[in-house]
């Protein structure tokens, strides 16, 4: 009964580190929209979005391999 959402970096839908895809999944938004928001804010507020992205990339853990339903189609043994 203590189910709560956790923020993870995506393993499957990633451009750089999977952070925007994981954030989009967490908040229920399309990952492309989250990527566009990061890009647009990066143009106008140059150093801050880059710093936030790098910090989150280091802090947010990667999605577990076996915890999310076994969608490991891209897993190489």
What residue spans define the domains of the chain?
Answer: 1-63
Distance in angstroms (rounded) separating the CA atoms of residues 39 and 46: 10
Please determine, for residue 70, whether its predicted confidence score (pLDDT) is greater than 80.
no
What's the mean pLDDT in 3-15? 91
Distance in angstroms (rounded) separating the CA atoms of residues 7 and 63: 8
Six token digits for residue 60? 């947010």
Distance in angstroms (rounded) separating the CA atoms of residues 20 and 26: 10
Residue whose tokens read 């189910």:
3
Six token digits for residue 77? 């043994």
Provide the pLDDT confidence category of residue 5 given band limits of 50, 70 and 90: confident
Half-sphere exposure of 31 (CA within 13 A, CB side): 16
């Amino acid at each position: 009964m203590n189910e709560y959402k956790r923020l993870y970096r995506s393993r499957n839908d990633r451009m750089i580190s999977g952070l925007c895809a994981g954030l989009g999944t967490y908040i229920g938004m399309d990952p492309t929209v989250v990527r566009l928001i990061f890009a647009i804010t990066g143009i106008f507020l140059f150093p801050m979005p880059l710093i936030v992205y790098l910090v989150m990339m280091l802090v947010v853990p990667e999605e577990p391999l076996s915890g999310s339903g076994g969608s490991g189609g891209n897993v190489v043994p």
